[in-house]
Amino acid sequence: MRLPMYITCIENHNIDLKKMDGYLFKKLGYEVARKFHGEVIGYILPKYPLNYFRLDIKIGENIMSILLHEYFPYVATASYENELQIHYFDSEDIINELRPYYTVLEMEFLNESFIPNFHDLSETELKNEKYWRPNTNGQVIFNCWD
């Protein structure tokens, strides 16, 4: 999968992209939590410098996060410690619930080494990539670069 231009949400000019529907994402999160006997314990909107929505669900003793990119229909499931420590995992049950609405990014792709030439980033994004030095595709897609 090639990452599209503006995936980092950093550009020298205004990005003319439509934001993802946070209301739908939240609604789906509550439906997922209910279906798997969990509860939503947090919902975070994208706010500079974060470029993604985050919905936290507690199922039993485990807490998982579902991340949705601010402008692209890309979601991932993760164990979320903080903005710099996101541990992706595949949850087949959750993935199946989200797949009709979003492109679900799997752990293997998210943890793959980021190779700039394999993607369609803008010059500004490439300059920022050199500064931030992300190691994985996940660090590029779900970031807090400023």
| Per-residue pLDDT, 11 | 80
* pLDDT range class, residue 56, cuts 50, 70, 90: very high
Q: Give the burial class of 63: count Cβ atoms within 10 A of its Cβ; 0-12 exposed, 13-18 middle, 19 or more buried.
A: middle
Average pLDDT, the chain: 95
- Residue 13: DSSP 8-state: S
Q: How far is CA 45 from CA 48, 96, 112, 122, in A?
A: 10, 23, 26, 25
Measured CA to CA, the distance from residue 84 to residue 61 in angstroms comes to: 23
In this predicted structure, the answer to whether residue 15 has a pLDDT above a threshold of 90 is no
Q: How far is CA 36 from CA 32, 60, 87, in A?
A: 6, 10, 21
Which pTM was predicted? 0.94
- Residue 116: DSSP 8-state: G
Q: How far is CA 125 from CA 10, 108, 139, in A?
A: 6, 23, 13
* pLDDT range class, residue 146, cuts 50, 70, 90: confident
Contact call for residues 132 and 100 (beta carbons, < 8 A): no
